[in-house]
Amino acid sequence: MSEISEDPAAGAEFRITRQALADGSLLARMRALRLPGLALKSDAEIEASLDAVLATHPPATDAFVFGYGSLMWNPAFAFTTRHLAILHGWHRRFCLRMPFGRGTPERPGLMMALDRGGSCRGIVFRIAAAHVRDELLLVWRREMSGTAYRARWVTVRTAAGNVRAVTFVVDHAHPRYVRHLTEDEIADTIAHAAGPLGSCASYLSQTIAALSALGVTDHGLERLAAEVADRA
């Protein structure tokens, strides 16, 4: 099995690591902050959400996870293989306002989520059948501890063919979802927002680097990074 241990973002006070997800310490620290707008599910609610999604997954078979942001460069769960994949019908976008994590209540940041339309290139990870629930629980504690994402089974295309994978899309009804932001507004926010998980600028640059390592150029992200650099 392969894994990457932690988020290398400079200046981060928290680290997203396999250990911090497995022992619950990351969630415990986030819960202790009691930040306005930070609604976190209980452990029981997180597990119930995972079990609901796994109810439609064939038992005793490998599972796939599609990552399009920090999961690409810091998965923090064990997997057997990973490959470039493309998802049609959804695109990666900075559309989720974050008053914590990579922002603060005084200066919220922006995080990426999958939103309707277009397409998105990312990484599809394969989890061995014997470890599906244990490894996905780590992913759930990270991605589904809040209420802004919805877990969804999608079909992604790889060089070897189509794969059914679980991924995380934005909930349009969530109060932190931002539908209409100009590129200038997004760049301004990313250039100046940071929190206990690091800066939004680092999140953007590491996502671009992960795609570059796959031989993928996301022209929208590259253009945004240039605008962020101009404001830094």
pLDDT tens-digit series, residues 115-165: 999 999 999 999 999 999 999 999 999 999 999 999 999 999 999 999 999
What global pTM score does this model have? 0.92
Candidate CATH numbers 3.10.490.10, 3.40.50.20, 3.10.20.30, 3.30.420.40; the one for domain 18-231 = 3.10.490.10
Residue 89: which residues within 8 A CB-CB, separation 6 or more? Answer: 116, 117, 118, 119, 154
Find out whether 167 and 85 touch, Cβ atoms under 8 Å.
no
- The residue written with tokens 């680290």 in the block is 15
**% of the chain beyond a pLDDT of 70:** 94
Instruction: Write out the catalytic residue numbers.
Output: 143
pLDDT tens-digit series, residues 181-211: 999 999 999 999 999 889 999 999 999 999 9
Report domain extents, the chain. Answer: 18-231
